[in-house]
Amino acid sequence: MTHSASVITIDGPAGVGKTTIARRLSETLGISYLDTGAMFRTLALNLGLAAEEMSEEAIKSVCSHYRFQLEGHGITTQLFVNGKLVSSEIRTEEVGMLASRLARLPAIRAVLADIQRSMAAATPLVAEGRDMGTVIFPNARFKFFLDASPEIRALRRMRDAENHDQPTDLAKLTEQIRLRDVQDRTRAIAPLKAASDAICIDTSDKDISEVLGLMLRHIDASGGLFPNR
Ligand code: DC
Protein backbone atom coordinates (compact mmCIF):
# COMPACT_ATOMS: atom_id res chain seq x y z
CA MET A 1 0.00 0.00 0.00
CA THR A 2 1.38 3.47 -0.84
CA HIS A 3 1.21 6.33 1.60
CA SER A 4 -1.77 7.86 -0.22
CA ALA A 5 -4.02 4.79 -0.49
CA SER A 6 -6.42 6.18 2.13
CA VAL A 7 -6.59 9.71 0.78
CA ILE A 8 -9.47 11.35 -1.02
CA THR A 9 -8.36 14.44 -2.89
CA ILE A 10 -10.55 17.42 -3.71
CA ASP A 11 -9.05 20.11 -5.94
CA GLY A 12 -10.61 23.16 -7.51
CA PRO A 13 -10.49 26.96 -7.79
CA ALA A 14 -11.09 29.57 -5.09
CA GLY A 15 -14.61 29.73 -3.72
CA VAL A 16 -15.88 26.50 -5.27
CA GLY A 17 -16.79 25.03 -1.86
CA LYS A 18 -13.92 22.58 -1.37
CA THR A 19 -13.58 23.13 2.37
CA THR A 20 -17.31 22.77 3.06
CA ILE A 21 -17.47 19.58 0.99
CA ALA A 22 -14.25 18.20 2.51
CA ARG A 23 -15.61 18.76 6.03
CA ARG A 24 -18.91 17.07 5.23
CA LEU A 25 -17.30 14.17 3.38
CA SER A 26 -14.80 13.58 6.19
CA GLU A 27 -17.67 13.66 8.72
CA THR A 28 -19.59 11.00 6.79
CA LEU A 29 -16.51 8.81 6.41
CA GLY A 30 -15.31 9.33 10.01
CA ILE A 31 -11.85 10.56 9.00
CA SER A 32 -10.01 13.92 9.20
CA TYR A 33 -9.85 16.60 6.53
CA LEU A 34 -6.89 18.74 5.58
CA ASP A 35 -7.44 22.28 4.28
CA THR A 36 -4.09 22.84 2.55
CA GLY A 37 -5.10 26.38 1.56
CA ALA A 38 -5.05 27.18 5.30
CA MET A 39 -1.40 26.09 5.41
CA PHE A 40 -0.43 28.37 2.50
CA ARG A 41 -2.47 31.20 4.07
CA THR A 42 -0.77 30.74 7.46
CA LEU A 43 2.70 30.96 5.94
CA ALA A 44 1.62 33.93 3.78
CA LEU A 45 0.26 35.82 6.79
CA ASN A 46 3.49 35.23 8.73
CA LEU A 47 6.10 35.64 5.98
CA GLY A 48 4.40 38.37 3.91
CA LEU A 49 5.61 39.51 0.50
CA ALA A 50 9.18 39.60 1.84
CA ALA A 51 9.29 35.84 1.11
CA GLU A 52 9.52 36.67 -2.61
CA GLU A 53 12.95 38.21 -1.98
CA MET A 54 14.27 35.35 0.16
CA SER A 55 16.55 32.52 -0.98
CA GLU A 56 15.19 28.95 -1.04
CA GLU A 57 17.42 28.06 1.93
CA ALA A 58 16.18 31.04 3.94
CA ILE A 59 12.52 30.15 3.23
CA LYS A 60 13.09 26.54 4.23
CA SER A 61 14.87 27.60 7.38
CA VAL A 62 12.10 30.04 8.40
CA CYS A 63 9.37 27.50 7.56
CA SER A 64 11.03 24.83 9.68
CA HIS A 65 9.77 26.82 12.71
CA TYR A 66 6.14 26.21 11.75
CA ARG A 67 4.80 22.91 13.04
CA PHE A 68 1.40 21.96 11.64
CA GLN A 69 -0.72 19.40 13.43
CA LEU A 70 -4.16 17.90 12.71
CA GLU A 71 -6.50 16.89 15.48
CA GLY A 72 -9.97 15.37 15.52
CA HIS A 73 -12.19 13.92 12.85
CA GLY A 74 -14.96 15.08 10.51
CA ILE A 75 -16.34 18.55 11.06
CA THR A 76 -14.46 18.82 14.35
CA THR A 77 -11.07 18.41 12.63
CA GLN A 78 -8.77 21.25 13.68
CA LEU A 79 -5.49 22.45 12.21
CA PHE A 80 -2.93 23.77 14.65
CA VAL A 81 0.26 25.67 13.95
CA ASN A 82 2.86 25.67 16.71
CA GLY A 83 0.25 24.46 19.16
CA LYS A 84 -2.32 27.18 18.31
CA LEU A 85 -5.46 26.84 16.22
CA VAL A 86 -4.88 28.50 12.82
CA SER A 87 -6.13 32.04 13.20
CA SER A 88 -9.33 33.32 11.60
CA GLU A 89 -7.20 36.24 10.28
CA ILE A 90 -6.11 33.97 7.41
CA ARG A 91 -9.64 33.92 5.96
CA THR A 92 -9.66 37.29 4.16
CA GLU A 93 -9.47 37.51 0.35
CA GLU A 94 -6.31 39.65 0.76
CA VAL A 95 -4.53 36.81 2.59
CA GLY A 96 -5.88 34.39 -0.05
CA MET A 97 -4.27 36.49 -2.77
CA LEU A 98 -0.99 36.72 -0.88
CA ALA A 99 -1.07 32.94 -0.35
CA SER A 100 -1.62 32.49 -4.07
CA ARG A 101 1.44 34.66 -4.82
CA LEU A 102 3.69 32.84 -2.37
CA ALA A 103 2.34 29.47 -3.56
CA ARG A 104 4.40 30.06 -6.73
CA LEU A 105 7.64 29.70 -4.75
CA PRO A 106 9.18 26.21 -5.01
CA ALA A 107 10.60 26.28 -1.46
CA ILE A 108 7.21 27.01 0.11
CA ARG A 109 5.56 24.24 -1.93
CA ALA A 110 8.33 21.78 -1.04
CA VAL A 111 8.07 22.45 2.70
CA LEU A 112 4.27 22.05 2.70
CA ALA A 113 4.35 18.98 0.42
CA ASP A 114 6.48 17.12 2.98
CA ILE A 115 4.15 18.04 5.82
CA GLN A 116 1.00 17.13 3.84
CA ARG A 117 2.40 13.73 2.88
CA SER A 118 3.51 12.92 6.40
CA MET A 119 0.05 13.84 7.73
CA ALA A 120 -1.54 11.43 5.22
CA ALA A 121 0.91 8.73 6.20
CA ALA A 122 -0.33 9.04 9.79
CA THR A 123 -4.09 9.04 9.19
CA PRO A 124 -6.72 8.62 6.43
CA LEU A 125 -7.58 12.04 5.01
CA VAL A 126 -9.82 14.08 2.78
CA ALA A 127 -7.20 16.51 1.43
CA GLU A 128 -8.34 19.63 -0.39
CA GLY A 129 -6.37 22.24 -2.34
CA ARG A 130 -5.05 22.86 -5.83
CA ASP A 131 -2.53 20.07 -6.46
CA MET A 132 -3.67 17.27 -4.19
CA GLY A 133 -4.59 14.83 -6.98
CA THR A 134 -1.92 15.91 -9.45
CA VAL A 135 1.26 16.36 -7.38
CA ILE A 136 0.93 15.57 -3.68
CA PHE A 137 -1.13 12.36 -3.78
CA PRO A 138 -0.95 11.01 -7.34
CA ASN A 139 -1.86 7.54 -6.00
CA ALA A 140 -4.90 8.68 -4.02
CA ARG A 141 -7.70 6.16 -4.10
CA PHE A 142 -10.32 8.77 -5.01
CA LYS A 143 -9.82 12.10 -6.75
CA PHE A 144 -12.40 14.82 -7.32
CA PHE A 145 -12.15 18.14 -9.10
CA LEU A 146 -14.84 20.74 -8.41
CA ASP A 147 -15.53 23.69 -10.67
CA ALA A 148 -18.05 26.52 -11.17
CA SER A 149 -17.97 29.83 -13.04
CA PRO A 150 -16.24 32.80 -11.33
CA GLU A 151 -19.61 34.61 -11.18
CA ILE A 152 -21.27 31.77 -9.29
CA ARG A 153 -18.33 31.35 -6.94
CA ALA A 154 -18.32 35.09 -6.19
CA LEU A 155 -22.07 35.02 -5.54
CA ARG A 156 -21.65 32.15 -3.06
CA ARG A 157 -18.83 34.01 -1.30
CA MET A 158 -20.97 37.12 -1.10
CA ARG A 159 -23.91 35.24 0.45
CA ASP A 160 -21.51 33.63 2.92
CA ALA A 161 -20.11 37.03 3.90
CA GLU A 162 -23.62 38.48 4.24
CA ASN A 163 -24.58 35.61 6.54
CA HIS A 164 -21.69 36.72 8.73
CA ASP A 165 -22.89 40.35 8.57
CA GLN A 166 -20.01 41.35 6.30
CA PRO A 167 -21.56 43.01 3.24
CA THR A 168 -19.29 42.63 0.18
CA ASP A 169 -19.12 44.10 -3.29
CA LEU A 170 -19.99 41.40 -5.85
CA ALA A 171 -18.07 42.99 -8.74
CA LYS A 172 -14.92 43.29 -6.61
CA LEU A 173 -15.24 39.69 -5.39
CA THR A 174 -15.69 38.40 -8.96
CA GLU A 175 -12.59 40.30 -10.06
CA GLN A 176 -10.52 38.95 -7.12
CA ILE A 177 -11.62 35.39 -7.90
CA ARG A 178 -10.74 35.79 -11.58
CA LEU A 179 -7.29 37.13 -10.69
CA ARG A 180 -6.59 34.30 -8.28
CA ASP A 181 -7.77 31.77 -10.89
CA VAL A 182 -5.25 33.11 -13.41
CA GLN A 183 -2.45 33.06 -10.84
CA ASP A 184 -3.26 29.54 -9.60
CA ARG A 185 -3.84 28.04 -13.06
CA THR A 186 -0.85 29.53 -14.86
CA ARG A 187 1.99 29.15 -12.36
CA ALA A 188 4.96 27.03 -13.38
CA ILE A 189 4.87 24.59 -10.46
CA ALA A 190 1.84 22.50 -9.49
CA PRO A 191 -0.71 24.67 -11.33
CA LEU A 192 -4.38 24.19 -10.58
CA LYS A 193 -5.76 21.53 -12.91
CA ALA A 194 -7.74 18.32 -12.73
CA ALA A 195 -5.74 15.10 -12.47
CA SER A 196 -6.32 12.96 -15.55
CA ASP A 197 -8.02 10.35 -13.35
CA ALA A 198 -10.13 12.80 -11.30
CA ILE A 199 -13.93 12.82 -11.33
CA CYS A 200 -14.84 16.37 -12.42
CA ILE A 201 -18.01 17.87 -10.97
CA ASP A 202 -19.46 21.16 -12.17
CA THR A 203 -21.16 22.45 -9.02
CA SER A 204 -22.76 25.51 -10.70
CA ASP A 205 -26.30 24.16 -10.45
CA LYS A 206 -25.80 21.78 -7.52
CA ASP A 207 -26.09 22.32 -3.80
CA ILE A 208 -23.69 20.83 -1.25
CA SER A 209 -25.84 17.76 -0.58
CA GLU A 210 -26.02 16.91 -4.28
CA VAL A 211 -22.24 17.18 -4.71
CA LEU A 212 -21.68 15.12 -1.58
CA GLY A 213 -24.17 12.50 -2.79
CA LEU A 214 -22.34 12.17 -6.12
CA MET A 215 -19.01 11.69 -4.35
CA LEU A 216 -20.32 9.15 -1.86
CA ARG A 217 -22.05 7.12 -4.56
CA HIS A 218 -18.81 7.01 -6.52
CA ILE A 219 -16.79 5.95 -3.46
CA ASP A 220 -19.34 3.26 -2.53
CA ALA A 221 -19.57 1.94 -6.09
CA SER A 222 -15.77 1.57 -6.15
CA GLY A 223 -15.64 -0.49 -2.96
CA GLY A 224 -15.37 2.28 -0.33
CA LEU A 225 -12.28 3.94 1.11
CA PHE A 226 -11.24 0.85 3.05
CA PRO A 227 -12.04 -2.07 0.72
CA ASN A 228 -10.26 -4.64 2.90
CA ARG A 229 -12.07 -3.85 6.13
O1 DC B 1 -7.96 27.20 -0.96
P2 DC B 1 -7.53 28.60 -0.52
O3 DC B 1 -8.31 29.69 -1.19
O4 DC B 1 -7.58 28.74 0.96
O5 DC B 1 -6.01 28.74 -0.98
C6 DC B 1 -5.31 29.96 -0.89
C7 DC B 1 -4.21 29.95 -1.94
O8 DC B 1 -3.20 29.01 -1.57
C9 DC B 1 -4.64 29.56 -3.35
O10 DC B 1 -5.10 30.65 -4.11
C11 DC B 1 -3.38 28.97 -3.92
C12 DC B 1 -2.66 28.38 -2.73
N13 DC B 1 -2.80 26.94 -2.63
C14 DC B 1 -1.99 26.17 -3.44
O15 DC B 1 -1.24 26.70 -4.25
N16 DC B 1 -2.01 24.83 -3.33
C17 DC B 1 -2.83 24.22 -2.48
N18 DC B 1 -2.81 22.88 -2.38
C19 DC B 1 -3.71 24.98 -1.67
C20 DC B 1 -3.69 26.36 -1.78
pLDDT in tens, 181-191: 999 999 999 99
> What does pTM read for this prediction?
0.96
3-state SS class at 84: strand
- Between strands 32-35 and 142-147, the pairing is unpaired
CA–CA dist 9, 67 (Å, integer):
22
Q: Domain spans of the chain?
A: 7-220
CB-based burial label for 101 (10 Å; 0-12, 13-18, 19+): middle
Q: Model confidence over 90-126: pLDDT tens digits?
A: 999 899 999 999 999 999 999 999 999 999 999 999 9
Task: Decide whether any atom of ligand 1 lies within 6 Å of the 143 Cβ.
Answer: no
Tally: H helices and E strands in the chain: 8, 8
Task: Decide whether any atom of ligand 1 lies within 6 Å of the 96 Cβ.
Answer: yes
> From the CA of 209, how far away is ligand 1's center (Å)?
24
Specify the CATH number for 7-220; select among 3.40.50.720, 3.30.230.10, 3.30.200.20, 3.40.50.300.
3.40.50.300
Helices (H), 103-149: 106-122
7 vs 229, higher pLDDT: 7
